[in-house]
Structure 1
């Protein structure tokens, strides 16, 4: 904890004087777009400043990245693996210093910050194994030649990451893309450019990554659009809202680029009859209120059997009413601030609309500054705004069901399909799991979960499927397939 939460964090690892007010291309440089202040949501004060890239910065970076990528891809697998391991070590060695930046820039509790640095190190360590992974197949052929399908680096990868878990949601694309021989242009959300970009750049800078292979360009929508337009960029890996993802996907399609889209979610937690309600309410509160509900996997819909509905609502209300709210850095509160006023007002607008549509606010429904109280809304139907929209805030809408068929229908009613949790009897939960449309299903766990070696992605409005995590997803995401044949002599032809 800091006595002066408005003071810029200090430490040798981050070496703030190197990068304050700058971006990274061939070193830390001044951006054509100028600078942007990074605000601390817990205090509403300036934390630091970084360079702000515009479209011209992105186009120049793409040209440089294409040059650097060829030399990087030609490195021996052991050389690329060594850089990834060294970057992972950076996150391990400096977890405490980096964790302060994550906490204060994102308004996070200490365990969330610790999770981000831990996952960042694991992504690098997992990535270090990729250069030695088999990169193709020997194919059968009716011709007198050897036939191979081999994987080659895609080239230049653009990574666009959001504000909520900025370190994890950047590094999970950056690390495997680099490990597989690509160059990367990273554009983190300008609200969280330090955790989402600077500390990753510092990790690979210290790890000895050659200049130009990773470039850091925090920026707005114009910088993101430039990544989809730059001819040198072959793949765009985007994590963010569904509307923004649609725009990225459309632009990439027009320019014949591959787009990997990990988008929103309105995730369901199903509480079966006979479930341990105390344990279920604890799981539901964690799923809805962790990091103020600003997680794509947040539990946005609680689907509870009618036999335990009242008991569950009462238990969840009790949890919400007794969770302290405040700046996690100065007070150690488990519920911190919303990222900014625009997001806070959107959350409150949905909550008030839910009440106007007949819902009952059991707890919360109010805020001070950027601190929105954990909120439970009961008595809703499927037309209620709190049910149908991704709120991205600490709000738990609860609806009841009577049969498993009804529970499955309620889960599948959403256009999103990212994560589902099912609590209660495992046999009954398995019946539900086999019928729901979701990229992830967790039995007797809530909806928020992520591991570096597990495939991550969703269906429908949640994106284009599993494009992150594990060897298979990462290799498919960041390489291209080439057919290669070899004969001992020139083949005879009839011409």
Structure 2
């Protein structure tokens, strides 16, 4: 039997085993063709309530397990991602519209997330504190309990597993709500891997659904922490609800990331990096390069080089294995991308490449000579569009880079000394010198400033320990303390 044998999961959710969901079913659709790939179950609000109470009960026993027993489950999960990589990759290609190399990155990263998480149970669990009293005093880390993970469609596996794996490793239970557009590759695959890895029942629930289910997994009384990756608008609502309910919300939100190209930068290498940063996965990446800030001395040549790259990148069905870009995820997003491009052109921007589409296949697009008020410059497009603007001084480059509501990732290409000077003045969660803006590793902190979220809450042992454990103060005396009452 294959990992994703449909007889196990088709038409079902996962709540203490595979079973029909109270919300009915939905089709998994291939965005490149419109074909139905399968049918998955939808959760109801009652399913969420049951999953939360089940998770809370199961979590207590899971947290009591020896660290090596929890670590063993995570290590087995990592090996299973490698063993079943080809099958999972096929689903990522077909359900998310990603090209095969992007799917390979997802399964490789999923394995590494599990391997890295397997080390968390053995890390120091607190500190010995000094005390003015005759006692031992400790600050010890304890699991938060139940964690809700809400993940998006664009990197459905990575953006689920990077929270699921460390949360489980540190002794918590998880309610997983994947994006309905990628519920199989971003949901079913994770459950099947952990099921095969020997994760005890009740600790991981799969609860696909819309906004009502998203609200339910946030509001469930048993849930202490919400790890959300998605739009800033949705993140604000989750943050507001979490604040009212006194829960922690770890929010990784949108980005309109700047790529600064310095005078003297190697144009061929810069254009290659820029094309990857803006066009990888059709630009449907929160870290995508959405604003190209280029020195005036090389601006015209840069626009020409980037347009040349865009013109020769093949677009089509990713399962053919011969394209660089696949489809936009759905018609709504396609319309949004195209409307932003057309508005920019009507507003005076120069269309250097692209700006057309065949169905959901949008051509890589380069926009030059924009105004800072243009939607194409201000907004996160989430499509294969590279807006370019020139600068003359370092101060102007810094002002353009910082002059945006987002602060997720910035790349700087060119001479390192000047790049360092600029980097120290930037407001961004991540800065990459002589790299483009899209980068992520399991052991590195990930997050943004401003409207890109509330900081680095995922990645690396420091962030994961902060996100998925609470600190408890514990004191011990040899005898009952004397008191004046």
Q: Structure 1 length as normaliser, TM-score?
A: 0.97
Q: Does 1:121 align with 2:111?
A: yes
1:38 paired residue among 28, 52, 55: 28
1:91 aligned residue: 81
1:316 aligned residue: 306
Q: Does 1:135 align with 2:130?
A: no
Contact 1:160 1:186 in 2 (8 A): yes
Distance in 1 separating the partners of 2:218 and 2:111: 29
CA deviation after TM superposition for structure 1 residue 57, in Å:
1.3
CA deviation after TM superposition for structure 1 residue 54, in Å:
2.3
1:49 aligned residue: 39
Question: After the TM superposition, which residues 53-452 of structure 1 pair with which residues of structure 2 at under 5 Å, given as runs?
Answer: 53-452=43-442
Question: After the TM superposition, which residues 472-487 of structure 1 pair with which residues of structure 2 at under 5 Å, given as runs?
Answer: 472-487=462-477
Aligned residue for 2:241, secondary structure, equals helix
Deviates more, 1:54-63 or 1:338-347: 54-63
Contact 2:257 2:409 in 1 (8 A): yes
Distance in 1 separating the partners of 2:37 and 2:450: 38
CA deviation after TM superposition for structure 1 residue 299, in Å:
0.2
Distance in 2 separating the partners of 1:138 and 1:221: 44
Deviates more, 1:167-176 or 1:222-231: 222-231
Contact 1:21 1:50 in 2 (8 A): yes
Distance in 2 separating the partners of 1:417 and 1:309: 24
Q: Does 1:454 align with 2:444?
A: yes
Contact 2:411 2:435 in 1 (8 A): yes
Q: CA offsets per residue over residues 238-272 of structure 1, 9 Å max, x none?
A: 00000000011111111111100000000000000
CA deviation after TM superposition for structure 1 residue 227, in Å:
1.2
Aligned residue for 2:225, secondary structure, equals strand
CA RMSD of aligned residues (A): 0.7
Contact 2:99 2:321 in 1 (8 A): no
* Count of aligned pairs between the two proteins: 485
Deviates more, 1:49-58 or 1:440-449: 49-58
Distance in 1 separating the partners of 2:348 and 2:44: 46
Question: After the TM superposition, which residues 8-23 of structure 1 pair with which residues of structure 2 at under 5 Å, given as runs?
Answer: 12-23=2-13
Aligned residue for 2:181, secondary structure, equals coil
CA deviation after TM superposition for structure 1 residue 331, in Å:
4.9
Unaligned runs of 5+ in 2: none
Q: CA offsets per residue over residues 446-470 of structure 1, 9 Å max, x none?
A: 0000000000000000001001111
Aligned residue for 2:157, secondary structure, equals helix
Contact 2:12 2:40 in 1 (8 A): yes
Aligned residue for 2:139, secondary structure, equals strand
Unaligned runs of 5+ in 1: 1-10
1:29 paired residue among 19, 22, 29: 19
